[in-house]
Amino acid sequence: MSARLYASIFQRASSYTPTLTTATYQCSHFVAFPSSHPGPAPHCHLSSWSTFRSDHIHNRDKESGNWSQIGRHRSTHQDLDFQLSSVQINSILRSNEQTVSVPEFDGRGLSTVKRFDSNQLAANTPNEDRRSAATCLQSKGMLFGVFDGHGGWACAQAISERLLYYIAVAMMPKHSLEELEKCMEHGRPVPPILQWYKHHTDFSFHRESASLYIEHLRVFWQELLDSEEHDEGMSPTDALNRAFKRLDADISLEAQVPHSTDLMKSTAIQVAFAGCTACVAHIGTDGIHVANSGDSRAVLGVQQEDGSWSALQLSQDHNSQNQAEVERIKAQHPPSERDSIITDDRLLGVLMPLRAFGDVRFKWSRELQQSILASLDSRVDLEFLNLYQYTTPNYLTPPYLDVTPEITYHKLRPQDHFLILGTDGLWDELGSDEAVRLIGEHLSGIHLQAPLSLSERQLKLGQMHELLLKRRARASPALDSNAATHLIRHGLGTGDYGELCQERLASMLALPEDLARMYRDDITATVVYLNSDLARPPHS
């Protein structure tokens, strides 16, 4: 372990005090770090990494300013113990992993999905990321989603439990919706809409909120029944678009209407004032539809004829690095606001994702926000709910934010082997190409090495030794059978030459909760393996 890294963390830990202001707001987005770690040493070391990290530490929050709270306790030198064994490291990395094999034939046809691996690693306490996976039982296909919360976990939790239902209902044909409605009217059991794949660590809302969510889902399908154009159900593209918008509208409405209990009211308000990004994939027999709102990402793993792997990105990040997205938002407001809408790479200088669920601070008028918060019972602790009455700067012509998803379609080909869905915490550590290479080599067990270039053949002995170390690192056997765990391990523990560095990984996993968010974000990854044989033309 590098003395520099110890010194850097010790210095921050000994001098650190949590930021608690009248506008404290616990969030989870931040400025992304480059994925490369410079340094000349030909072995696993941390000196260059520690310098890079300590020089670039930010409060890694989706929202910035005076609205951030790093943690709940102060660190001391005694808190910091980086001597994790390999058993401890594996226990931490694998505690939330999930592997599901999908039946090849489900009674309605061949499945496009063979299996999927998923995992999560928290930096926040509690984790603000969520994930979902389900098979559509009343229509075809499977749905996968990753959800990155900020301002707490409440919005991500609600979206992860509700959004797939809205999508599935929108795709259902009219006769199936009629059956749902008849069952509700006569008090009979409702036919299942989704087959969920839950991990035992996944959270659920309390029963009162669940009943409210069912009521609003029913209103949604009743409106679809009243539509004369809904006979066969919506296409995946229309269903994804409609579901995203409708659920966000329902969340906004639920925070404004009366509720039977204080718990339901405070929960609804907490969900609406928090926020979350969403990246959802519908995988059908012919292709993949991806709906993205925010800066999570969907990447397809493609194997070329020579056996090498390439990444095909099926979503665009909605942040300030996306110039088209920045111009889209600026065009919706007066020219006088062009210089204030995006400042410090954030929406109004506060929010990093430029599309999201919830986040009514960027959608409602100031008067409505103040009215709703004032309506809470005086016994409700706003700080406990992560709700704070602060004024967003330059808030002149709301709304500044919406959830409208950007939807892409990709027709499956024989060379398309897997889909990676990840929250931005994954992509802060790995580039799309690197992630696909890791999964491709994990899947095939083959580590392709490019031939030596002319310049490489002229390397000096020491430089050639470094190159050989890098090539040997790429050919190391995988430690994890779960591909999502494999991604997280390499994202956090890869050394300067592609080798897995136990010390580096241990240091990232052993950080106490108030320091962990300074170095990394919550990470969620789902790897979906595709049945590429379905895309092959039939033999003549």
Compute the Cα dihedral for 56, 424, 350, 316 and give only its sign. Answer: positive
Q: Whole-prediction pTM value? A: 0.83
Query: Residue 488: pLDDT band by 50, 70, 90 thresholds?
Result: very high
DSSP code per residue over 117-137: EEEEE-SSSS--EEEEEEEES
**pLDDT reported for residue 13:** 41
Q: How far apart, in whole angstroms, are the C-alpha atoms of residue 52 and residue 75? A: 22
Q: How far apart, in whole angstroms, are the C-alpha atoms of residue 156 and residue 146? A: 9
CA angle 452, 456, 458 (to 5 degrees): 125
CB of 525 within 8 A of CB of 436? no
Structure confidence by residue, pLDDT tens digits, 283-313? 998 899 999 999 999 999 999 999 999 999 9
Matching residue, tokens 């309605």? 108
Q: How far apart, in whole angstroms, are the C-alpha atoms of residue 516 and residue 461? A: 40
210 pLDDT more than 90: no
Give the Cβ contact number of residue 192 at 10 Å: 10
219 vs 35, residue with greater confidence: 219
Structure confidence by residue, pLDDT tens digits, 494-521? 877 677 888 899 999 998 888 888 899 9
Residue 367's CATH number: 3.60.40.10
CB of 144 within 8 A of CB of 280? yes
In a domain, residue 228? The reply is yes
Peptide bond before 399: cis, by omega within 30 degrees of 0?
yes
| Helix or strand holding residue 145 (H, E) | strand 142-150
Q: Which amino acid is at 471?
A: R
Q: How far apart, in whole angstroms, are the C-alpha atoms of residue 4 and residue 363? A: 45
Q: At what angle do helices 262-273 and 236-254 cross, to 10 degrees?
A: 130
Pairing label, strands 346-347, 194-196 = unpaired
In a domain, residue 37? The reply is no
**pLDDT reported for residue 204:** 74
Q: How far apart, in whole angstroms, are the C-alpha atoms of residue 504 and residue 154? A: 32
Which three-class secondary structure state does DSSP give residue 515? Answer: helix
Burial class (CB in 10 A: 0-12, 13-18, 19+), 51: middle
Pairing label, strands 129-136, 142-150 = antiparallel
81 closest CA partner among 518, 503, 523: 503
In a domain, residue 234? The reply is yes
Matching residue, tokens 């779960």? 482
**pLDDT reported for residue 54:** 33
In a domain, residue 459? The reply is no
Q: How far apart, in whole angstroms, are the C-alpha atoms of residue 370 and residue 317? A: 31
| Percent of the chain at pLDDT exceeding 90 | 60
Peptide bond before 334: cis, by omega within 30 degrees of 0?
no
What are φ and ψ of residue 164, in 5° steps? -65, -30
Q: How far apart, in whole angstroms, are the C-alpha atoms of residue 376 and residue 265? A: 8
Q: How far apart, in whole angstroms, are the C-alpha atoms of residue 181 and residue 126? A: 38
Which three-class secondary structure state does DSSP give residue 42? Answer: coil
- Note down the domain range covering 254: 125-430+437-449
351 closest CA partner among 385, 397, 400: 400
Query: What's the whole-number average pLDDT of the chain?
Result: 82
CB of 350 within 8 A of CB of 392? yes
Q: How far apart, in whole angstroms, are the C-alpha atoms of residue 5 and residue 511? A: 12
Burial class (CB in 10 A: 0-12, 13-18, 19+), 507: buried
**pLDDT reported for residue 429:** 96
What are φ and ψ of residue 421, in 5° steps? -110, 130
Strand stretches in 185-331, DSSP E: 194-196, 275-283, 287-293, 297-303, 309-313
**pLDDT reported for residue 299:** 98
Compute the Cα dihedral for 299, 300, 303, 305 and give only its sign. Answer: negative
101 pLDDT more than 90: yes
Compute the Cα dihedral for 235, 241, 243, 246 and give only its sign. Answer: negative
In a domain, residue 523? The reply is no
Q: Under 8 Å CB-to-CB from 466, ≥6 apart: which residues?
A: 40, 42, 497
**pLDDT reported for residue 320:** 97
Query: What DSSP character marks residue 306?
Result: T
In a domain, residue 493? The reply is no
Structure confidence by residue, pLDDT tens digits, 449-484? 445 555 645 566 666 666 566 655 555 667 899 999
**pLDDT reported for residue 282:** 98
How many domains are there within the chain?
1
Query: Residue 127: pLDDT band by 50, 70, 90 thresholds?
Result: very high
Q: Under 8 Å CB-to-CB from 277, ≥6 apart: which residues?
A: 147, 148, 293, 294, 295, 296, 318, 353, 355, 356, 357, 423, 424
| Structure token digits, residue 231 | 């006979």
What pairs with residue 145 in β-bridges? 132, 280
In a domain, residue 283? The reply is yes
In a domain, residue 414? The reply is yes
Matching residue, tokens 């012919």? 286
